Copies of this chain bind each other. A is one copy, B any other.
Amino acid sequence: MTPLNVAVFGAAGYTGALTARLLQRHPTFELRTVTARSDVGRRLDDLYPHHRVPLVLEELDLDRHAQVDAAVVAYPHGAAAEVVAELVARGVRVVDLSADFRLRDLGTYEEWYRAHPEPALLPRAVYGLPELYREQIRAADIVANPGCYPTATLLALAPLANAGVIGDVVIDAKSGVSGAGRAATDKTHFVTVDENVSAYGVPRHRHTPEIEQELAALGAQVTVTFTAHLLPLDQGELVSCYVTPLNGGPQEDARSIYLEFYDGEPFVEVTDRPPGVRDVRETNICRISVHHDERTGRLIAFGAIDNLWKGAASQAVQNLNLMFGLPEGEGIS
């Protein structure tokens, strides 16, 4: 097969750099370019030795860099939309790691973020959670890669949402520090995080509307309580979802509903015991369990992912594979 040329824009951050690594070793894609807004001129394998990508970070030059079949944009929200628009205009198919194309409703985006630079493109974007939108992703030219928390949460809750039994849900999320990005701040200093745990972004975390949008698409119209916590680990994310069931809850055993819903899914594992994030470290896998609390009637669902992998970079590659008709797990299994 002719190699497919691909570029990663914004490869100096954690998720862009990991995407570059995965694409650089991908059997079909050929990584042509990595750009960055900081660290221009540095080699990526100097900045991230363990990724071993021997390319120099370049300053963005769309005339040259858009000569590719596909691109992954790893810019902050707000900054991403314009680059995505330029790429799409040049015929490049894009996976966008930012929040800019995740919310289908412009008003919701502008309530939680700011004015949208490219609202006309919103209808063309597909929400890039393959387990829910596999067919739409195949045909899309803009795929909005989900946030890490929504990825874990939606996979943990989709079977219940689909079964129509979610009345209310509290989501308590726990993330490793890489989720906070590469910026060196008081909050990411080792001495701040070590031997610590605390909540942040209370009570309004920006991943909330994304979760609500997709639960609603599955049939669950709920206003969710979502709280994120920072933990002393590097990669890994666990969501603990406490569901107050509707209509007396599911008629059958909750675990059976999950096994059936995810039957054949290559990157979802349904387990008996609560999953740990170590079990999915450096993989594209989401590991899920569901439990029934007889005393309260609640259903408790856990979802564990690697926030940099299934929560960002490897899911981006999974989406690219789908968009170009490749085996879904190529380069990420």
Contact = CB atoms under 8 A, between A and B. Distances in A.
A191 B189 contact: no
Report the copy number of this chain in the oligomer: 4
A198 B304 CA distance: 9
Interface in A182-205: 182, 184-186, 188-200, 202-204
Interface stretch (A113-121, A170-178, A312-320): A170-178
Contacts of A275: 198
A194 B180 CA distance: 15
A286 B229 CA distance: 18
Contact of A190 (B190, B200, B225): B190
Nearest to A178: B191
Contacts of A200: 274
- Chain A, interface size category, equals 35 or more
A293 interface: yes
Contact of A278 (B50, B229, B274, B283): B50
A231 B231 contact: yes
B199 A234 contact: no
B190 A177 contact: yes
A239 to B, nearest CB: 10
Contact of A233 (B184, B197, B227): B197
A197 B281 CA distance: 11
A196 B291 contact: no
A298 interface: yes
A282 B309 CA distance: 15
Interface in A261-302: 271, 274-283, 287, 291-296, 298, 300, 302
A223 to B, nearest CB: 5
A238 B197 contact: yes
Contacts of A277: 195-198
B203 A300 contact: yes
A196 B274 contact: no
Contact of A189 (B170, B189, B199, B224): B189
A230 to B, nearest CB: 9
A2 to B, nearest CB: 24
A240 interface: yes
Contact of A227 (B184, B185, B203, B300): B300
Interface string A35-61: 000000000000001100000000000
Contact of A196 (B196, B233, B295): B233
A204 B202 CA distance: 28
Contacts of A198: 238, 274-277, 302, 304
B278 A242 contact: no
A235 interface: yes
Contact of A232 (B14, B190, B223, B240): B190
A235 to B, nearest CB: 7
Nearest to A333: B25
Contacts of A276: 49, 196-198
A202 B241 CA distance: 13
Given A233-B196, A276-B197, A182 B174 contact: no
11 contacts: A188-B189, A188-B191, A190-B190, A194-B233, A195-B235, A195-B281, A196-B233, A197-B236, A198-B276, A225-B298, A232-B233
